Amino acid sequence: MSDATRPTAEITLLGRSYVIACAPGEEPKLERAARYLDRAMTGIHAQNSLLGSERIAVMAALNITHELLETLEQQRDSERSLDALSERLERALADAPGGEPSA
C-alpha cells in the first residue's frame, strides 16, 4: 500500500495539527497516544512557556519513556513475586498429606 492510499489521522500537539499515516484500524490507538503526548507536552509548556516545541517534545518523550520503564520494572517485579508464590504453593501442596508431586 502506498503512502498516498494509507489511512491517516489528524492529531493535535500543543495546538498544532499533524496528519499521521497509520495502519488500518489503528487510528483510535494513534489518537489516544497523541492525547497522552499532548497532555505531557502541555504540562511541560505550562511550567516553562519559553521552551521551544522541539525541546518540549524531547522532554515529554523522556518523561513518558521513564514512566514506561518504571511500569515495566514493576511488572517484572510482580511477575517474580507471583512466580515465587506459585512455587511456594506447589511445594506446600506437594508436602501436604495426600499431596501430589508437581509435574
pLDDT at 75 over 90: yes
- At 9-63, the pLDDT tens digits run 999 999 999 999 999 999 999 999 999 999 999 999 999 999 999 999 999 999 9
HSE-CB at 72 with a 13 A cutoff on CA atoms is 6
59 neighbors 66 (Cβ within 8 angstroms) = no
Give me the residues paired with residue 11 across strands.
Answer: 18
| Prediction pTM value | 0.75
Sequence-distant (6+) residues with CB within 8 A of 38 are 11, 12, 13, 14
Greater confidence (102 vs 79) lies with 79
In angstroms, the first-to-last Cα distance of the chain is 49
The three-point CA angle 34-17-55 to 5° equals 70
Please report which confidence band the pLDDT of residue 1 belongs to, taking 50, 70 and 90 as the band edges.
Answer: very low
Q: According to the model, what pLDDT value does residue 7 have?
A: 87
56 neighbors 14 (Cβ within 8 angstroms) = yes
